[in-house]
């Protein structure tokens, strides 16, 4: 039987306060890996507050997983739950369940690696962290990963991405770092070849990227976010509208969080 | 320890089941369904329903709001894909049925006549749909009429699930009993809302949603107590049951069984531990009892 495991916080450090506090947290949870197997890029965990007034676990995407025992989560303080997580210190215990959901499928993953295959990873704000493990997987396959990352004005995880990517392009809304504008505008300036696209970020960014990719016929996978209750598929709360004349919604937690760009209705 | 419970002629191995819409096939990876008194399906309608626009979930202090709107792929899909899954377990199966009109409820009950399920639960209390649901369950006359119509269409014993969003729950409970209900389940969620002060907009896509969780337990318990004193048919108590003590409170109020809802989200193994704790409580109660 699967269960909620107890994890031990190894590290929980503030990365930036701009535009909101973003923390970098490492949780040691070997039992979780024992029960559920390896983590795929794009999967997430549910973190349990253990507080009676905060009933529901919080979904947090996995930034990286190490040696089948530690997960790295980079999360933004967005409400009561994440505020509580940010207060936890080294050695604190936390309930963790995962990895959950279906992650990204690296294009061509079932065939031998092709050196000339290019994967573009497009991230916006707090949508950037889950792309790191994808970059790592592509790098380990020996294929080319290019990151196009957009932020309000303070980039995060750039050095981490540089480790696995052939190129890391940065955009900021304020123009403080890199290109002035968003990740899709920057992508439009640099991408002029056949490539596979993967994205995670705010809804408006994903929407414009879906339209952009659709016009060019480029295959795109996007990771979605929605308010969840259970995280395991039971409550049908985290719905995303899809192109279907049957049931118009899919569950982000169990059917996603990664969807094809051309199946989502914005 | 024997926790066997008779619910309108259906014998459950123990008095603990899930509340409809809180337990899916995925939940069976966390909770041993064979150990549950019964499994209650998510609401099943005649045709597929898409449900409400997101966001559908909002947490509240000690509770949560949901406005899912009974999204489900319909009775044909249920019979083809879902029922065979639940049949693999040794437990009783209760199918929660939903509709927009009395005829739709009847058609679902009719379609399930030959299905190998143990009981039906008539959902006339969902606060998240515009037609059917709560519109029926808040009116005594309609409750009796629809109960009686579905009872005639159904082959299995019929549980009627009641809404707490009424002036007098006893009046509705009696109407369901008069309509031929074999059992009652209560309470469904309490209608509520939340507003995001940053965006100045309601937090739920549907504006209103149903409140559940520990926050509603005192209301649920009071209503179960009132109803158990007023009807002769068995009652399934629910509303904020998160542990064995909560379950005992409902049983002490007169409920024959209890259902666990939101607690499945807080702890996907909640039902497992409640059943274990209940058995332990029974043992502790009698151990050494004859020693003077």
ipTM attached to this prediction: 0.93
Q: How confident is the model at residue A120 (pLDDT cuts 50, 70, 90)?
A: very high
pLDDT in tens, B234-257: 999 999 999 999 999 999 999 999
Report chain A residues touching chain B, CB-CB < 8 A. Answer: 1-4, 48, 52-57, 80-81, 97, 226-230, 232-241, 246-249, 254
Is A234 in Cβ contact with B56 (below 8 Å)?
no
| Phi, psi angles (nearest 5°) of residue A14 | -70, 125
| Out of B25, B48, B53, closest to residue A246 by CB | B48
Is B66 touching A (CB cutoff 8 A)?
Answer: yes
Q: Does the pLDDT value for residue B288 go beyond 90?
A: no
> Three-class SS of residue B207?
coil
Q: How confident is the model at residue B128 (pLDDT cuts 50, 70, 90)?
A: confident
Nearest CA-CA distance, residue B175 and chain A, Å: 30
pLDDT in tens, A14-66: 999 988 999 999 999 999 988 777 899 999 999 999 999 999 999 999 999 99
pLDDT in tens, B19-50: 999 999 999 999 999 999 999 999 999 999 99
Mutate to test the interface with B, among A55, A84, A255 (most CBs of B within 10 A): A55
What is d(CA A138, CA A121) in angstroms, rounded to the nearest whole number? 10
Mean pLDDT of chain A: 94
* Percent of chain B predicted with pLDDT > 90: 91
What is d(CA B86, CA B279) in angstroms, rounded to the nearest whole number? 24
Cβ-Cβ contacts under 8 Å for B80 (sequence gap 6 or more): none
What kind and span of H or E run contains A139? helix A129-141
Q: How confident is the model at residue B95 (pLDDT cuts 50, 70, 90)?
A: very high
Indicate if B126 belongs to the active site.
yes
pLDDT in tens, A179-202: 999 999 999 999 878 899 999 999
Q: How confident is the model at residue B263 (pLDDT cuts 50, 70, 90)?
A: very high
In chain A, which residue's Cα lies nearest the Cα of B24? A234
What is d(CA A99, CA B125) in angstroms, rounded to the nearest whole number? 35
Q: Report whether B103 contacts B96 (CB < 8 A).
A: no
Q: How confident is the model at residue B284 (pLDDT cuts 50, 70, 90)?
A: confident
Nearest CA-CA distance, residue A101 and chain B, Å: 11
Domains and CATH numbers, chain B: 5-286 (3.20.20.70)
| Residue keyed to tokens 């980039």 | A155
């Amino acid at each position: 039987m699967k269960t909620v495991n107890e994890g031990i916080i190894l590290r929980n450090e503030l990365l930036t306060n701009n535009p909101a506090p973003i923390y970098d947290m490492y949780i040691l949870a070997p039992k979780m890996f024992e029960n559920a197997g390896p983590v795929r890029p794009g999967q997430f965990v549910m973190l349990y507050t253990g507080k009676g007034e905060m009933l529901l676990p919080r979904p947090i995407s996995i930034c990286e997983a190490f040696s089948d025992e530690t997960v790295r989560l980079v999360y933004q303080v967005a409400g009561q739950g994440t505020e509580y997580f940010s207060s936890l210190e080294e050695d604190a215990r936390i309930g963790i369940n995962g990895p959950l959901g279906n992650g990204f499928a690296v294009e061509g993953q079932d065939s031998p690696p092709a050196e000339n295959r290019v994967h573009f990873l497009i991230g916006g704000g707090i949508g950037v962290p889950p792309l790191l493990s994808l970059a790592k997987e592509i790098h380990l396959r020996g294929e080319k990963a290019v990151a196009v990352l957009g932020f309000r004005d303070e980039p995060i995880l750039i050095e981490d991405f540089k480790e696995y990517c052939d190129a890391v392009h940065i955009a900021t809304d304020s123009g403080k770092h890199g290109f002035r504008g968003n990740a899709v505008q920057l992508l439009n300036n640099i991408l002029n070849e056949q490539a596979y696209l993967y994205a995670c970020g705010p809804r408006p960014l994903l929407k414009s990227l879906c339209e952009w990719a659709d016009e060019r016929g480029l295959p795109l996978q996007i990771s979605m976010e929605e308010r969840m209750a259970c995280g395991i598929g039971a409550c049908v709360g985290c719905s995303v509208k899809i192109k279907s004349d049957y049931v118009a919604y899919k569950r982000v937690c169990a059917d996603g969080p990664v969807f094809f760009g051309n199946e989502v209705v914005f | 320890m024997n926790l066997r419970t008779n619910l309108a002629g259906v014998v459950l191995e123990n008095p603990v089941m899930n509340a409809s819409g809180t337990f899916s096939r995925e939940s069976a990876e966390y909770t041993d369904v064979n150990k549950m008194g019964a499994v209650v399906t998510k609401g099943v309608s005649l045709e597929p329903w898409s449900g409400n626009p997101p966001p559908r979930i909002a947490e509240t202090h000690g509770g949560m709001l949901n406005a899912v709107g009974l999204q489900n792929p319909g009775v044909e899909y249920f019979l083809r894909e879902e029922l065979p899954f639940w049949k693999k377990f040794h437990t009783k199966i209760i199918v929660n049925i939903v509709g927009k009109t009395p005829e739709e409820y009847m058609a679902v009950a009719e379609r399930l006549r030959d299905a190998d399920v143990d009981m039906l639960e008539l959902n006339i209390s969902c606060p998240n749909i515009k037609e059917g649901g709560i519109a029926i369950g808040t009116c005594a006359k309609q409750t009796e009429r629809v109960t009686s119509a579905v009872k005639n269409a159904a082959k299995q014993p019929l549980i009627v699930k009641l809404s707490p969003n009424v002036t007098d729950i006893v009046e509705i409970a009696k109407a369901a009993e008069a309509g031929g209900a074999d059992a009652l389940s209560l309470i469904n969620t309490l209608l509520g809302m939340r507003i995001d002060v940053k965006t100045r907009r309601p937090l739920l896509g549907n504006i209103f949603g149903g409140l559940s969780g520990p926050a509603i337990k005192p209301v649920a318990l009071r209503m179960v107590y009132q109803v158990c004193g007023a009807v002769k048919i068995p009652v399934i108590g629910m509303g904020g049951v998160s542990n064995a003590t909560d379950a005992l409170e409902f049983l002490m109020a007169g409920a024959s069984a209890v259902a666990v809802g939101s607690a499945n989200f807080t702890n996907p193994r909640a039902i497992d531990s409640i059943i274990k704790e209940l058995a332990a409580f029974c043992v502790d109660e009698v151990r050494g009892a004859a020693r003077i």
